[in-house]
């Protein structure tokens, strides 16, 4: 305790110097008996100070322990057993501060709950009319298809259905991002097998891969796994796979590989597309960032659209730039990282885009 408190150490050093001075003075005046009396007087004078100092530091140590307990989740804090004095005043102020912080934390938790409920209500209110609109459009399209008339109108209705599905996906994604920002999403922490994770993430995109003539290759190390939330990580990986698919030309390949070591489990997704423009790399995970015009054009061509009767093409945009942002947010919320770079061959030439998921292992200290 003395070594950590310079003020106390200096005070004890001064007292020791005074005690030695008193002993020397007593020895000069009355010999050894005078020296003993001088030391005894110095110790008697120092005893109340030492006792008071010990009690003060013991009270401070108790306060420090209580505050440390609060920092580790303890909600109750009381200094009722402190005596009156400046230490008690300090303890009372700290008690008030902790009480205020506790009330603020409770208010924030309640606000997050209210926000989560509000987002759920908004989601329901938006999805209900969108679902009704999609069903109505589908029924009209089927009726026109059955009649065999107005094929151009049927094709337009088919594209409207696709746009409606995109709006539903956009609404769902925006709501998830809002819930992440509000801290209203709960994440499980359980063993996740990368092989099954990849299968679940790729399943909804199987038809899209076939239509685009893009091969999906899996190179997963046996037993590779990490601790996280399987459902949310599936969505994050699915968003990255979709992005790679949209930027890989026909005849290309998207590869998912995974390796596990003592530090982390790393999942890498690479494609054989043109890669990511250097100017886009710092912004690739920003919300609503669409990248270069060339990238946008590639995405629009992949989605495609049949020409309208007047010769103008109805093009469905590839996306609005929030899929990768959501993917990183979902991974970061689990304590992992998601990075993007360009894959290169031995000569340094760009061979496609490379996304790396890293889920670190818990290290016991």
The pairing of strands 190-193 and 225-228 is antiparallel
> Torsions phi, psi of 188, nearest 5?
-75, 160
Contact 336, 357 (CB under 8 A): yes
Rounded CA-CA distance 140/154 in Å is 9
24-44 exposure pattern, b = at least 16 Cβ within 10 A, e = fewer: eebbeeeeeebbebbbeebee
Rounded CA-CA distance 99/102 in Å is 5
> Torsions phi, psi of 5, nearest 5?
-125, 100
Contact 286, 278 (CB under 8 A): no
Rounded CA-CA distance 317/296 in Å is 8
Query: What is the model's pLDDT at position 121?
Result: 75
Instruction: Quote the pTM value.
Output: 0.60
What is the torsion angle, in degrees rounded to the nearest 10, for the CA atoms of residue 351, residue 353, residue 359 and residue 363? 50
What is the torsion angle, in degrees rounded to the nearest 10, for the CA atoms of residue 191, residue 194, residue 200 and residue 205? 150
pLDDT by position in tens, the chain (length 365): 445 556 666 666 766 676 676 666 666 656 666 666 666 666 666 666 667 677 777 777 777 777 777 777 676 656 555 555 666 777 777 777 877 888 888 887 787 777 777 766 777 777 778 888 888 888 888 888 887 777 888 888 888 888 887 787 777 777 777 777 777 678 889 999 999 999 999 999 999 999 999 999 999 999 999 999 999 999 999 999 999 999 999 999 999 999 999 999 999 999 999 999 988 888 889 877 766 644 444 444 444 444 444 444 444 444 556 889 889 999 999 999 999 999 999 998 999 999 999 999 875 44
> Torsions phi, psi of 271, nearest 5?
-130, 175
- Which of 270, 266, 268, 269 shows the shortest CA–CA distance to 224? 266
Location of structure tokens 């992440």: 180
């Amino acid at each position: 305790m003395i070594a950590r408190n310079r003020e106390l150490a200096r005070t004890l050093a001064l007292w020791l110097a005074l005690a030695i001075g008193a002993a020397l003075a007593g020895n000069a005046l009355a010999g050894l008996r005078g020296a003993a009396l001088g030391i005894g007087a110095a110790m008697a004078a120092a005893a109340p100070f030492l006792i008071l100092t010990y009690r003060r530091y013991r009270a401070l140590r108790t306060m420090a322990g209580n505050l440390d307990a609060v920092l580790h989740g303890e909600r109750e804090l009381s200094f009722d057993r402190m005596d009156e004095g400046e230490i008690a005043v300090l303890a009372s102020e700290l008690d008030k501060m902790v009480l205020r912080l506790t009330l603020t934390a409770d208010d924030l938790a309640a606000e997050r709950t209210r926000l989560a409920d509000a987002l759920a209500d908004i989601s329901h209110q938006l999805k209900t009319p969108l679902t009704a609109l999609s069903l109505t459009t589908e029924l009209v399209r089927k009726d026109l298809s059955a009649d065999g008339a107005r094929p151009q109108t049927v094709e337009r209705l088919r594209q409207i259905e696709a746009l409606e599905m995109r709006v539903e996906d956009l609404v769902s994604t925006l709501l998830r991002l809002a819930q992440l920002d509000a801290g209203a999403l709960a994440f499980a922490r359980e063993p996740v097998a990368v092989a099954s994770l990849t299968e679940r993430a790729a399943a909804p995109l199987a038809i899209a891969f076939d239509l685009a003539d893009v091969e999906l290759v899996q190179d997963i190390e046996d037993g590779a796994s990490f601790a996280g939330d399987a459902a949310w990580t599936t969505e994050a990986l699915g968003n990255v796979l979709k992005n790679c698919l949209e930027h890989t030309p026909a005849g290309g390949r998207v590869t998912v590989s995974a390796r596990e070591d003592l530090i982390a489990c790393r999942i890498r997704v690479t494609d054989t597309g043109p890669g990511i423009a250097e100017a886009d790399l710092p912004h690739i995970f920003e919300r609503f960032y669409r990248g270069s015009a060339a990238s946008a054009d590639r995405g629009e061509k992949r989605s495609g659209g049949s020409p309208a009767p007047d010769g103008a093409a109805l093009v469905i945009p590839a996306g609005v730039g929030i899929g990768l942002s959501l993917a990183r947010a979902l991974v970061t919320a689990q304590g992992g990282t998601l990075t993007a770079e360009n894959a290169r061959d031995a000569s340094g030439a760009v061979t496609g885009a490379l996304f790396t998921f890293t889920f670190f292992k818990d290290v016991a200290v």
